[in-house]
Amino acid sequence: MTVGTFALLARGEPSLAVLQTTPQASAQPAIAQESRVKAAFVVKFTQYTTWPAAAFESATAPFVIGIIGPSSSIADFEQEARAIAGPRPIEVRLVTTPEGATRCHAIYISKADSRAEENWLQALRANPILTVGETDRAIEYGAVIRFVTEGKKIRFEVSRPAMERAGLKISSDMLRYAKTVHNKPEAQP
């Protein structure tokens, strides 16, 4: 990724739309870099999203990001969460059950768990959770946000119906930088 674009993201600039990745000598560093970029996006998304007050146990309750997929990406999310100063501490958890997922405010479903993405999204659809998926059908399955890779760029799409169903409000600044804002309702179970 270019340092300039990432620096804007880290500083809190609304330029979330595109992060450029640089060519790598091997696939492993590129995958690790992609994981860090997506972690930065997800953590930054939380700064542009408002949850209903009832989504938190108290005014000081932590904000919980759940990871569905390999535990190796947790370190990237924790590193990004430490860089954010906000009114609530951010906790990052590996999620393995739907019950555990309902205790989260944001869920990232890794492409490594893409075969189960539809099941996870169906199980979470009635909850105030910012769901982020990666498959081509993530929006159709009910994700609020879907990552899109275009060459070496990572972008995102937003589903307004999924956002509204979850009771979330995403700022117009973030929506402006989305590749696409879907207004058509997703497929029903």
Domains of the chain, each with CATH number or no CATH: 3-182 (3.40.50.2300)
* Structure tokens, 73: 């990406």
User: pLDDT tier at 23 (50, 70, 90 boundaries)?
Assistant: very low
In the block, tokens 């119906």 appear at: 161
pLDDT tens per residue across span 61-115: 999 999 998 887 899 999 999 888 778 889 999 999 999 999 999 999 988 766 7
**What pLDDT score was predicted for residue 182?**
95
Percent above pLDDT 70 for the chain: 79
Q: What is the mean pLDDT of residues 134-148?
A: 95
Task: In whole angstroms, give the CA distance from residue 158 to residue 146.
Answer: 7
On whether the CB atoms of residues 77 and 108 are closer than 8 A, the answer is yes
Residue 24 has pLDDT above 60, yes or no: no
Amino acid, res. 134: E
Instruction: Spell out the residues 6+ positions from residue 8 whose beta carbon is closer than 8 angstroms to its own.
Output: 15
> What letter would DSSP give residue 167?
T
**What pLDDT score was predicted for residue 32?**
66
Model's pTM, two decimal places?
A: 0.82
